[in-house]
Structure 1
Amino acid sequence: MKIILAPMEGVVDHLMRDMLTRIGGYDLCITEFIRIVDQKLPARVFTRFCPELQNGGKTFAGTPVRVQLLGQDPNWLAENAVRAVELGSPGVDLNFGCPAKTVNKSRGGAVLLKETEQLYLIVKAVRDAVPAAFPVSAKIRLGYDDTSLTLANAAAIASAGASMLTVHARTKSDGYRPPAYWPWIAKIKQQVSIPLVANGEIWNAADAALCQQQANCSNIMLGRGALAMPNLAQSIRTGAAAMPWPQVLELLMRYSEFEISGDKGQYYANRIKQWFSYLKLQYPQAADLFQQLRVLRKSSDILATLNQALLHSQHA
């Protein structure tokens, strides 16, 4: 079983990857996507999305981090994929699953699930360009509007030479609404021989076990569930209970210090609130605290509120 931390645009940045992989349980992380249009991007773009490139392509906990690219031009994707591995990425991931309207309008992400031939051309170009020692993986949804091309798309990606395929078991039209249709992954497995990774609606160890059973797939990717329960990967591996709330608050404080001192400090208020939107799904205490945080704008006010909550939890 491999457990992979999902790329979540605007949420799972290098700081979040660092925090979650320190807790442990992950075999691999995938970065937020780097948008490729019509040029070979400079090294600084790659290191901005993936500072781990300056640490041997790994988080400080030692978990490999694979750069993800998004685009529609096979040749430019191939050139940038080569640059990613030259800079230290232990492989390249291709995004064919992003549901964002702005991305889809410019023929990127999930909209390419309507174009089976283009999926093949992209994966083949990248696979041919990247040295064989480096994996080239891809992530898809079941389709754009429906599942009519699911099996054809998966087969095209596999035949183009992909090393691994992650399947978010919903269409673009399904968005993030439950359920995830895990049995579809089992159907894909009957058609392709490359390793598959199941993704979607895994919130706890029981979900993971059911997903693995229905998908006939032991590898899983965790996204929103990993933010709702910071030790979810360890819980799946060992059966550990959810991280106690005081420990979660300590984690939030450490994350806050990193975020505010880093180059993304201006986004801190939004990011911490976004994290709370997931935490409150698992922790009732987070829902109460979120009510206080949601009206705050200044980092100092948010930090003071978190610190007060931490002190209170330690003496409760």
Structure 2
Amino acid sequence: MQIALAPMEGLVDNILRDVLTRVGGIDWCVTEFIRVCDRLLPASSFDKLAPELRQGARTAAGVPMRVQLLGSDPVCLAENAALACELGAPVIDLNFGCPAKTVNKSRGGAVLLKEPELLHAIVREVRRAVPAHIPVTAKMRLGYDSPDGALDCATALAEGGSAHLVVHARTKVEGYKPPAHWEWVARVQDVVKVPVFANGEIWTVDDWRRCREVSGAEHIMLGRGLVSRPDLALQIAAARDGIEYQPISWEALQPLLREFWRQAQHKLSPRYAPGRMKQWLAMLTRGYPEAVALFAELRREDDCQRISGLLGMEEQAALVCVA
């Protein structure tokens, strides 16, 4: 069983990948999508979203990181995938699941699920362009507005050369609205010969048990559930192995919060760093009642020094954010 951290654009950047993989239980993670349009991107574009390439494509905790590309031009995607491999990407992942309107309008992400032939062509060209030892994988939704074509899309991706499929068990139109249709993951597994990862609405160990029962999937990808409960992967792994596990407490989570804030201040300007802290803290309110009170204190605070103080980083409260 593999447990992966999902690529969530605008949320799971290199900072959050670093912090979450320090907790443990995650077998691999994926970058936010790198948008490919009509040209070969400069190396700096990869470095911006995948700085882990400078350290062997691993987070500080040693967890492997994969590079995800998004686009619709098979040749251009293939050329950029080849460059990503030269820069150190150990796996190329292709995004066919992003539901964002701006992405779909520019013919990227989930809108391509309307064109199974194009899905096949993209994976085939990327597979041909990258070294044989480097896997090419794909993440998909069940469809754009209906799951009726899900099996055709999954077959196209697998036959194009995808080493495995991650299936977010909702359509683009459904977005992130519950429920996730895990039964469709089982149907996908019936028509492809490659491993299938179940993704969507796994917030707790009980959710994972139900997902496994309904989907039959051995492997899972965790997204918002893991961001909200940073040790969810450890909880699931312990349940899988029949081991008693004590979930990480709010107190034990504090060093991670402070490390996240420290890195956010170094990466972002004073204007944007507070927003990143609030974004993660807002998601933690789902898993930790204590986060609700802290979020209430921070939600209207934009001064980096005062935020440091509220996080118990008195020694850093006198520092200013740096770009």
Aligned residues: 309
Matched with 1:221 is 221
* Counterpart amino acid of residue 206 in structure 2: A
- Cα pair 1:260 1:266 within 8 Å, conserved: no
Give me the CA root mean square deviation: 1.4
* Counterpart amino acid of residue 99 in structure 2: P
Q: How many Å separate the matches in 1 of 2:157 and 2:24?
A: 31
What is the 5 A alignment of 1:154-233? 154-233=154-233
Q: CA deviation at 1:55?
A: 0.7
SS of aligned partner of 1:307: coil
Structure 1 ranges of 4+ moved more than 6 A? none
2:307 to 302, 305, 312: 302
* Counterpart amino acid of residue 42 in structure 1: P
- Cα pair 1:229 1:242 within 8 Å, conserved: no
Q: How many Å separate the matches in 2 of 1:31 and 1:81?
A: 14
Q: CA deviation at 1:272?
A: 1.2
Matched with 2:80 is 80
Residues 146 and 224 of structure 1, relative CA distance in 2, 3 Å threshold: same
Deviation sequence 1:78-104 (CA, Å, 0-9, x none): 000001111001110000000111000
What is the 5 A alignment of 1:1-316? 1-239=1-239, 240-263=245-268, 266-307=271-312
Matched with 1:313 is none
Q: CA deviation at 1:267?
A: 2.6
TM-score (norm 1): 0.95
Q: How many Å separate the matches in 2 of 1:264 and 1:7?
A: 23
* Counterpart amino acid of residue 188 in structure 1: V
Q: How many Å separate the matches in 1 of 2:313 and 2:88?
A: 41
Q: CA deviation at 1:289?
A: 1.4
Q: How many Å separate the matches in 2 of 1:13 and 1:248?
A: 19
TM-score (norm 2): 0.93
Matched with 1:314 is none
Q: CA deviation at 1:211?
A: 1.0
Q: How many Å separate the matches in 2 of 1:305 and 1:95?
A: 38
Q: CA deviation at 1:215?
A: 1.0
Deviation sequence 1:31-77 (CA, Å, 0-9, x none): 00000001111111111111110111111211110000000000000
Q: How many Å separate the matches in 2 of 1:49 and 1:258?
A: 15
Q: How many Å separate the matches in 2 of 1:92 and 1:43?
A: 15
- Cα pair 1:37 1:76 within 8 Å, conserved: yes
Q: CA deviation at 1:113?
A: 0.7
SS of aligned partner of 1:163: coil
- Cα pair 2:69 2:77 within 8 Å, conserved: yes
Q: CA deviation at 1:15?
A: 1.3
Identity %: 50
SS of aligned partner of 1:171: coil
Unaligned stretches of 5+ residues in structure 2: 240-244, 315-323
Q: How many Å separate the matches in 2 of 1:57 and 1:209?
A: 31
Deviation sequence 1:225-254 (CA, Å, 0-9, x none): 111111111111114233101122221111
SS of aligned partner of 1:149: helix
* Counterpart amino acid of residue 208 in structure 2: A
Q: How many Å separate the matches in 1 of 2:138 and 2:172?
A: 16
Q: How many Å separate the matches in 1 of 2:250 and 2:24?
A: 18
Deviation sequence 1:134-179 (CA, Å, 0-9, x none): 0100000001101111000000001111101000000011111111
Q: How many Å separate the matches in 2 of 1:251 and 1:59?
A: 15
Q: How many Å separate the matches in 2 of 1:305 and 1:263?
A: 19
- Cα pair 2:264 2:277 within 8 Å, conserved: no
